[in-house]
Amino acid sequence: MEELAKVFSPAKINLFFAVTGLRQDGYHDILSANCILNFGDEITIFRTPNGCDEIICDKPFLNRKNNTLITALDVFRKKTGLEQYFSIQLKKFIPHAGGFGGGSSNAAVLLCAINEIYGNILTQKELIDLSKTIGADCPCFIYNIPNLTTGIGDVCTPMDGKVISALRNYSLSIFKPAFGVNTKMAYEILRKSFQNLYLAEKEANRRLFMLQDAIISEQISLPLYNTFSEIFFSEHENFCELHFKMKNTGINMMLTGSGSGCFCLSHKSLEYTNNTFESMIRQYCGESTFIEHTSFVANNPNALSL
C-alpha cells in the first residue's frame, strides 16, 4: 500500500459550554468556546487497491465498520465522485467518551487531508458543510483558529485573539476517569429532568464575555461555566470535592462537553508543578485516571504539515 500522509488530529476542550434551549427539531442550541490542544491522535492514510475502506486502530473500543472515519470517506466520495478507497491507521491518544472531541476531530482532519491530497477539490466552506453531516462538533476542527460555536455546535466564529494569547500564561491539564459519558444520553437526561439548567442566550453571552474578560486580564480565579457540570458534580461527589479543593488553591477546574473529561487551568505565576495536579486528581478520581499536561494552540495544525 502507498502511504499518502501522516496527520495530527487534535483534541479540544470547551472553555465555556452553555446549553441555551431545546429546538423544535429535538436538538439543543448551545454557546461554546472551543480551544484546540497540542494533544491528539495520529492518523496515517494509505491508498489501497481494494474496493473498500479499512480502519486499523490500536484501541479496541473503535467500531471498525461504523465510525466517523468511514463516514468521512463515504461522504467525501459521494460529494466529489472520487473512486479511491483507503486504509486508515489510527493511533488513539484522546480518551473515548470524555468530551474531548476525538471522533469529530478524526473525521474533520481526515476530510481536510484527503481533500488536500487530491488537489483541494472542495473549498473550506464545502468542507465545513460536508463535516456538518458527520457531526455537530466537526466544523470547529475544520476552522484553523479557536472558535465560538452556536446553533447545535455547527456555526463557528473566530475567538478573540487576545483570549488565546492570554491563555498561554495558564498551565493546562486534562483528565478523565475510568468511566465515560454518552453524549446523547446526557442530553436526553438534560431534556427530561433538568430543563431548569438551560441558560438563556442573553445570560450565556454575558457569562462568556465575563470569562473572556477575566482571561484577558489574567485573573487567578476564572468564572468557568458548563451546563452539564451541576448534574455531573452532583452525581459524582468526588469530582465536586476535587472542584472545591482546586478552587481553594487557585486552580480552575471544569467539565468539558458533557464529560466525563475535565480540565484545570492555573495561572503560571502560581508555579504549580504537574505533580501537584496529578496527586490531587488521583486522590479523588482514582489511580487509573487518564491525565495529560498540554497546552493551547493558536491555530489548528495543518493536517499535512507533519
Give catalytic residue positions. 12, 137
Asked if 88 and 45 touch (Cβ cutoff 8 Å), the reply is yes
Please name the amino acid found at residue 173: S
Task: Give the span between the Cα atoms of 123 and 100, in whole angstroms.
Answer: 26
Q: How far is CA 178 from CA 18, 96, 240, 287, 290, in A?
A: 25, 10, 17, 9, 7
Cα angle 21-26-28, degrees, rounded to a multiple of 5: 30
**Beta-bridge mates of residue 30:** 19
Q: At CB < 8 A and 24+ separation, what contacts does 48-51 make?
A: 48/1, 48/85, 48/86, 48/87, 50/85, 50/87, 51/85
By three-state DSSP, how is residue 144 classified?
Answer: coil
